[in-house]
Chain A
Amino acid sequence: MNEFVFLYRGGQAGRSPEQAQQVMQKWMAWFKELAESGHVKDRGQPLERSGKLVAGKRKTVTDGPFAEAKDVVGGYTLILAKDLNEAAELSKGCPILEFDGQVEVRPVMKLNM
């Protein structure tokens, strides 16, 4: 098995409480399915949408991230999969996709030492 990171972007529309609960239940069901089939290495962490951006030799600090709301990474998960194709296939069940969000699937680099 190889390791992959799912980066979740966007998908944070204003919703009614009932819709929010449904979204929550979808995420729970999805993670449960992934975990039961042995694909979750680490469920991961949510990230605050606020932050600082430190840039350049002059180390200028600004309030960031600058990405538009729909591009801000809201969290990540560590996934185990056979290959990139399988990982991408697994990401298709992510509820964020129903709400205009994206999942970025990235292989964790292997160190052959």
Chain B
Amino acid sequence: MELSEHLFRHEAGRMVATLTRIFGVHNLGLAEDVVQEAFCRALEIWKFRGVPENPSAWLMTTAKNRALDVLRRERTARAFAPELTRQLESEWTLLPTIEEEFAAAAVKDDELRMMFSCCGPRLSEEAQVALILHILCGFSVDEIASAFVSSHAAVEKRITRSKKVLAGSRKLFDISGVEDFARRLPAVQRALYLLFNEGYHSASQEKAVRVELCHEAIRLTLMLLKNPLGAAPSTYALAALMSLNAARLPARLDVSGNLTALAEQDRSHFDQSLAEDGLRLLERAATGPELTDYHVEAAIAWVHTSAQRTEDTDWATIVSLYDKLIAIRPSPVVALNRAIAIAQRDGPKRGLDEIHAIQDLERLANYPFYHAALGEFELRKGNHKAAQDHFKLAFSLARNSMERQFLNQRVNACEQGEGVA
């Protein structure tokens, strides 16, 4: 019996979610301890006896038995989930209650409940993403720190503090309330969107790490889609945008995990099945009156993905989509991307005009890709010296080694008088 990839991580998320549901959110730490014990036990036993037929079920049963021990031993001394207190009190109701809580359908709801609980208004967006990664995706502090190219201490502090906030909330989010669900949904979508971006734009040099984060975001978004209330058109759009962008990820990074300029991306490396998933999801997103930024971003990703060659990209459509995106979510970075699309459509001079017309342009002053865009435009106009100065400035603002390497290549490209990117 082979273990499927990331089985332990995913099971950790499921087990913590279910145990927290039973123990109560204030006992999050206890739930984590029980999960840790279940893994230790699995390791000890499976080494000698081999991996069982159904490893997920084995782990869940182990967690369940351990939970029963804890509940029996501590039910007088410790308060568990307030909504289950009565059922857990007597031996008559304890067992059937626990069996019910560990049933497959209940566990699915537990994961969703935990996802919504992690996205409460008392937690910053950064904290929400970190909590989701830690609790639901089963990443350790070290693993998150390495993905974020952040120090162990910084991530640990953030997670410890966020867990305290979560454990301090009176109870887990109630996903059965239609209105509450709808009100919390945008925050959940946003956290998943940020989680995806964290992977897509991760500073980590490890390609695998980035791909993994993107896949986690997709997995959790698909989980959200399985819930009737979660399956809103905006969630479909979010899932579409993730799939379509993830389809391009293998081409976006070269073999050594470096950023590749759009024109140099080898389209034969696009993940076709992800692209097809994305298109299907995008079609399902196209219902209802609401046009969200996820819809527009997914459409942009689709135009990029569907072009056979970079030269074939339908820039006119992309420009019009950016117009829509700016109307929904105005930001200097979106405006910059719009200017780049205009330059692709109408040439570098128009691109420069658009950049100069950006409101709040000063907010881009420290953004390396603002200067890189200026560099590309100048380079295409044939102003090698001016282009190089922009790229040098961009290089000096680079936030990680991957960006530094990419921008250094652009600086050198000006030297050789090479073409456009």
Q: Which residues from chain A sit less than 8 Å from chain B, CB to CB?
A: 12, 14-21, 23-25, 27-28, 31, 43-46, 74-75, 77
Cα–Cα, bound, A21→B138 (Å) = 12
Interface locus among B43-51, B217-225, B268-276, B319-327: B43-51
Which residues of chain B are within 8 angstroms of A74 by Cβ–Cβ distance? 44
Beta-carbon contact of A20 and B140 below 8 Å: no
Which partner residue on chain B sits nearest A28 by CB separation?
Answer: B51
**At the interface, yes or no: B181 with Cβ under 8 Å from chain A?**
no
Q: In angstroms, how far is the closest chain A Cβ from the Cβ of B10? A: 8
Give which listed residue, B3, B36, B50, contacts A14 with CB less than 8 A.
Answer: B36
Contact status B143-A24, CB under 8 Å: no
Q: Which residues of A contact B138 (CB under 8 A)?
A: 16-18
| Binary A-proximity of B64-76 (CB < 8 A = 1, otherwise 0) | 0000000000000
In the bound complex, residues from chain B placing their C-beta under 8 Å from that of A18 are 6, 8-9, 138-140, 143
Q: Which residue of B36, B45, B140 contacts A46 across the interface (Cβ within 8 Å)?
A: B45
Asked if A23 meets B43 with Cβ closer than 8 Å, knowing A43-B48, A44-B48, the reply is yes
* In the bound complex, CA of A15 to CA of B141 (Å): 11
Kindly report which residue of chain B lies nearest to residue A42, judged by CB atoms: B48
Shortest CB distance A74–B (Å):
6
CB-CB under 8 A from B36, the residues of chain A are: 14
Nearest-Cβ distance from residue A93 to partner chain B, whole angstroms:
14
Quick check: is B40 within 8 A (CB to CB) of the other chain? Answer: yes
B11 and A17 contacting across the interface, CB-CB below 8 Å: yes
Task: Give the CA-CA distance A14 to B40 in the complex, in Å.
Answer: 8
Q: Are B47 and A20 neighbours in the complex by a CB distance under 8 Å?
A: no
Contacting residues of chain B (130-144) with chain A, CB-CB under 8 angstroms: 138-140, 142-143
Determine whether the beta carbon of A17 is less than 8 Å from that of B9: yes
The reply to whether the CB of B187 lies closer than 8 angstroms to some CB of chain A is: no
Find the A residue at minimum CB distance from B41.
Answer: A46
Separation of A18 and B50 alpha carbons in the complex (Å): 18
Q: Is B421 an interface residue (CB 8 A)?
A: no
Q: How many angstroms between the C-alpha atoms of A31 and B12 in the bound complex?
A: 26
